[in-house]
Amino acid sequence: MSRLPVALWLLAAMCPAIAAPPVAFEWPQGQRAAVSLAYDDALDSQLDTAVPALDRHGLKGSFYLTLSADTVRRRLDDWREAARNGHELGNHSLFHQCAASKPGRDWVRPEHDLDAMTARQMQEQVRLASTMLHAIDGATLRTFTVPCGDTLAGDGDYASDLSADFVAIKVTGGAVVPDMQTLDAGAVPVAASVGLDGAALIALVDEAARRGTMVNLTFHGVGADHLAVSSEAHAQLLEHLAAAPDIYWTASFRDIMTWVRQQQASAVPDAPPGTRTP
Ligand SMILES: [Zn+2]
């Protein structure tokens, strides 16, 4: 029998880099969970209902603008004002391209069919959307929410090559993040909130607090527009969050994921002397 496996076992037992327990993940003020409130598609009800509700409580959200949306053209000053008040203007592409081949996608217009685009075309458009957002809010760091959660263009994945362009990228699927240290900033899950009442929304943030992780709630319309939650449900959630700032860190997705990436980087243990590879 070779003696090499025994030597490796001894090394593992003696080496702190292997034997050390994982470093605990902490939120900035010792809160129990982070909550990202996100609003996709640049809708009137977000400016008319969601932004005033957030501002009343001093909470910050992330608004993912589809740059070609009529609401961006008509209400550019309102979006700019929201950014000045500390809300994030996130990237949700120029034209909200989704795969028309998926079930229930009759609404996808042929000129906005992701299946008919190359990954390179989509990447160029998303980067142009970031340039336009920079012209609106002056920010250089932001996050991206993949329209419909569809990452596959006609010739392959387009989102992974964009990970260096953003603090983080959201895709669909999942609800409360199970583990912060292993969370991939390039594919963060989001919880759809369409149709949920106040109690159901509060149950999601409470679950995040129990786990000590985070939840990303994505809204569309608030009290109006498509895929809506009621303004009452939205208000109940905000009251719950604002009443317990020691439990919930409610912040823009940009700020939350900047913190998460710093925590993940600092949790990587240094190799002890003599074990570093050249
Ligand atoms: Zn969308």
pLDDT digits (tens, 9 = 90+) for 78-107: 999 999 999 999 999 999 999 999 999 999
Question: 243 is written with which tokens?
Answer: 């009443």
Inside any domain, residue 122: yes
Q: What is the CA radius of gyration of the chain?
A: 21
Inside any domain, residue 276: no
For the segment 240-248, the average pLDDT, to the nearest whole number, is 98
CB 58 within 8 A of CB 250: no
CA-based torsion, 89, 95, 96, 97: positive or negative: negative
Model confidence at 268, pLDDT cuts 50, 70, 90, reads low
| Minimum mean pLDDT range among 7-11, 19-23, 219-223, 251-255 | 7-11
pLDDT digits (tens, 9 = 90+) for 10-22: 444 444 444 455 5
Rounded distance from Cα 1 to ligand 1 centre (Å): 60
Model confidence at 224, pLDDT cuts 50, 70, 90, reads confident
pLDDT (0 to 100) of residue 77: 97
Q: Give me the CATH number covering residue 60.
A: 3.20.20.370
Rounded distance from Cα 244 to ligand 1 centre (Å): 30
Q: Which residue has the tokens 């439990």?
A: 247
Rounded distance from Cα 164 to ligand 1 centre (Å): 21
The average confidence (pLDDT) of the chain is 90
3-state SS string over the chain?
CCCHHHHHHHHHHHCHHHHCCCCCCCCCCCCCEEEEEEEECCCHHHHHHHHHHHHHHCCCCEEEECCCCHHHHHCHHHHHHHHHCCCEEEECCCCCCECCCCCCCCCCCHHHEHHHCCHHHHHHHHHHHHHHHHHHHCCCCCCEECHHHCCEECCEECCHHHHHHCCCEEEECCCECCCCCCCCCCCEEEEECCCCCHHHHHHHHHHHHHHCCEEEEEECCECCCCCCECHHHHHHHHHHHHCCCCCEEECCHHHHHHHHHHHHHHCCCCCCCCCCCC
Rounded distance from Cα 64 to ligand 1 centre (Å): 8
pLDDT (0 to 100) of residue 269: 59
pLDDT digits (tens, 9 = 90+) for 131-171: 999 999 999 999 999 999 999 999 999 999 999 999 999 99
Inside any domain, residue 272: no
pLDDT (0 to 100) of residue 27: 97
pLDDT (0 to 100) of residue 174: 78
CB 167 within 8 A of CB 118: no
- List CB contacts of 252: < 8 A, sequence separation 6 or more: 36, 60, 61, 62, 86, 87, 88
Model confidence at 273, pLDDT cuts 50, 70, 90, reads very low
Question: 75 is written with which tokens?
Answer: 């209400």
Share of the chain above pLDDT 90, in %: 81
- List CB contacts of 112: < 8 A, sequence separation 6 or more: 95, 96, 97, 98
Inside any domain, residue 22: no
Rounded distance from Cα 84 to ligand 1 centre (Å): 23
Q: At residue 5, what is the residue type?
A: P
Share of the chain above pLDDT 70, in %: 88
Inside any domain, residue 4: no
Rounded distance from Cα 2 to ligand 1 centre (Å): 58
CB 117 within 8 A of CB 92: no
Total domain count, the chain: 1
pLDDT (0 to 100) of residue 277: 40
Question: 230 is written with which tokens?
Answer: 């009621």
Model confidence at 264, pLDDT cuts 50, 70, 90, reads very high
pLDDT digits (tens, 9 = 90+) for 107-126: 999 999 999 999 999 999 99
Question: 105 is written with which tokens?
Answer: 């996608």
pLDDT (0 to 100) of residue 172: 81
Rounded distance from Cα 11 to ligand 1 centre (Å): 51
Question: 238 is written with which tokens?
Answer: 């905000």
Rounded distance from Cα 190 to ligand 1 centre (Å): 12
Q: Which of 40, 132, 145, 124 is nearest to 80 (CA)?
A: 132
Inside any domain, residue 274: no
Rounded distance from Cα 5 to ligand 1 centre (Å): 52
Inside any domain, residue 1: no
pLDDT (0 to 100) of residue 22: 54
* Chain-centroid distance, C-alpha 8: 41
Rounded distance from Cα 129 to ligand 1 centre (Å): 14
- List CB contacts of 80: < 8 A, sequence separation 6 or more: 136, 137
pLDDT digits (tens, 9 = 90+) for 48-72: 999 999 999 999 999 999 999 999 9
Q: For the beta carbon of residue 84, count every other beta carbon within 10 angstroms.
A: 10
Rounded distance from Cα 275 to ligand 1 centre (Å): 48
Q: Which range of residues forms the domain containing residue 67? A: 30-267
Rounded distance from Cα 189 to ligand 1 centre (Å): 14
pLDDT (0 to 100) of residue 14: 46
Rounded distance from Cα 213 to ligand 1 centre (Å): 25
Inside any domain, residue 278: no
pLDDT (0 to 100) of residue 4: 44
Rounded distance from Cα 92 to ligand 1 centre (Å): 7
